[in-house]
Amino acid sequence: MQKTKNKKYFNLLIFLFFGNIFLINVSKAQEIVAGKDSFPNLLQDTGLQGEIDDAINNMYNYNFAAAETEFAWMRHRYPGHALPYFELALGYWWRIAPNPQNEEYDKPFLAYLDTTIQKSYAALKKYPNNAEAAFFLAGAYGFKGRLYAERKAWTKSALAGKNALKYLRRSKNDLALSPEFLFGEGLYNYYSVWIPANYPSLKLITMFFSKGDKKLGLEQLTEVSKNAFYTRTEALYFLMRIYANEEKTPALSYKIADQLHKQYPNNPYFHRYYAMGQFLQNNTLESVRSSTELLAKVEAKVFGFEEISGRYASYFLGYASLSTNQAEAERYFKKTVDFAEKIKELDSGYYQSALQYLADFAKKRKDFSTAKIYMDKIAKNNSKKKERKKARKEAKNLGKMKDED
């Protein structure tokens, strides 16, 4: 598990590197005034926001066809602007988000980001002082870096950063600060402090970053979540994850997950976090209801509901059944194991815990052969040396008991 976590946060560090570039570009963009430029500045166009609000909501609610129809209209109306292409790319990112191992949508995601970059460069060539072009150029390279880091394509990640550095030269004027610009800054401020504090082995890399401020980062993300339009839901997404995983405050994470799941009930990622929040808060009835619904969508192969959500939901249902129906608990824990093995998430806590429960059930009915199979899996895949050693010892004892039976 520690190795996996280090890889996870190394990937995030790569993203933060691009976030650092993004911040530099944003800070420069904030110094540019659109002034005499006739290029439309859409980020703060409240009229446009009202027109595409449904498209944004449809995207996050996994109604991608409806969202893309609206974005196509925006692309026709503003053919030279990067915004519609960036939103189309974001739609593909949300197709990837439930299971980042799935590479099916990489090609269209990267293609729309490339078009975003192309439109932004063209705008900067025609209007050198345009702030939004710089904003989208930095954002597009940031997302490319994030995906390449997820794919462990480090050279491509480095090239994305190198390309982003090309347009850091900007003049110094004034531009009213939009909450959209705070999104990248908030992420950077938080994680550039949290990662080296919790993963000393990665501290050397963060030495090259400018100093962050974790508390300020959370405040900035919160402001974005309340006042931004385009980056509001992205800020809520990160706050939900941060409170659950980094800050260890599941009640705060659940509050956001509840809000997001109610607003976007067809979003599998938000549904997963909502079910997890209910489970962690020991709200058994609602946990069972939401997990049953989540598992049903996975088994019905509803788009976006895949094995990771299935692993979560089946474990929550198995745990809820422990005191009332052992046969049901065993059935759900077997599902947990199956889902985890399909996606090769063999060091996950839910997988390891489900195996232990299944081994215990088998031992109770004196099925030592089956119990040994489960303990062998724990001994092979548990990330903790102490647990592997313990499981090997128990598996060995079960083998003896099987022979004596």
- Whole-angstrom CA distances from 295 to 107, 239, 309, 326 are 29, 25, 7, 19
- CA separation for the pair 299, 156 (Å, rounded): 36
In a domain, 213, yes or no: no
- CA separation for the pair 287, 292 (Å, rounded): 8
- CA separation for the pair 218, 356 (Å, rounded): 37
3-state secondary structure of 374: helix
- CA separation for the pair 70, 85 (Å, rounded): 12
- Indicate whether 281 and 167 sit together in one domain: no
Q: Which residues are CB-contacts of 233 (< 8 A; sequence separation ≥ 6)?
A: 56, 60, 260
Residue by residue, pLDDT tens for the chain (405 residues) are 444 555 555 555 555 554 454 444 444 444 443 344 446 788 888 999 999 999 999 999 999 999 999 999 999 999 999 999 999 999 999 999 999 989 999 999 999 999 999 999 899 888 887 778 877 887 788 788 888 878 888 777 666 655 544 443 442 333 444 788 778 778 878 888 887 888 776 666 666 667 789 999 999 999 999 999 999 999 999 999 999 999 999 999 999 999 999 999 999 999 999 999 999 999 999 999 999 999 999 999 999 999 999 999 999 999 999 999 999 999 999 999 999 999 999 989 999 999 999 999 999 999 999 999 999 999 999 989 999 999 999 999 888 886 666
Chosen domain end from 133, 158, 176: 176
N-to-C CA span, the chain: 36
- Indicate whether 162 and 289 sit together in one domain: no
Two tokens at 318? Answer: 């198995």
- Indicate whether 170 and 37 sit together in one domain: yes
Domain around 132: 2-176
In a domain, 190, yes or no: no
Domain total for the chain? 2
- Indicate whether 398 and 283 sit together in one domain: yes
- CA separation for the pair 235, 182 (Å, rounded): 10
- Indicate whether 169 and 300 sit together in one domain: no
pLDDT of residue 8: 55
- CA separation for the pair 326, 318 (Å, rounded): 9
- Indicate whether 134 and 248 sit together in one domain: no
- Indicate whether 24 and 137 sit together in one domain: yes
Q: Structure pTM?
A: 0.87
pLDDT of residue 160: 61
Amino acid (one-letter) located at 355: L
In a domain, 220, yes or no: no
- Indicate whether 165 and 245 sit together in one domain: no
Residue with tokens 């059935």: 331
In a domain, 231, yes or no: no
- Indicate whether 12 and 141 sit together in one domain: yes
Chosen domain end from 135, 156, 176: 176
Q: What is the CATH number of the domain that holds 257?
A: 1.25.40.10
Residue with tokens 């052969």: 369
- Indicate whether 259 and 110 sit together in one domain: no
Chosen domain end from 130, 157, 176: 176
In a domain, 223, yes or no: no
In a domain, 211, yes or no: no
8 A C-beta contact, residue 51 and residue 85: no
Is the sign of the CA dihedral 227, 230, 232, 238 positive or negative? negative
pLDDT of residue 197: 84
- Indicate whether 250 and 395 sit together in one domain: yes
Two tokens at 198? Answer: 């919790």
- Indicate whether 247 and 168 sit together in one domain: no
8 A C-beta contact, residue 26 and residue 224: no
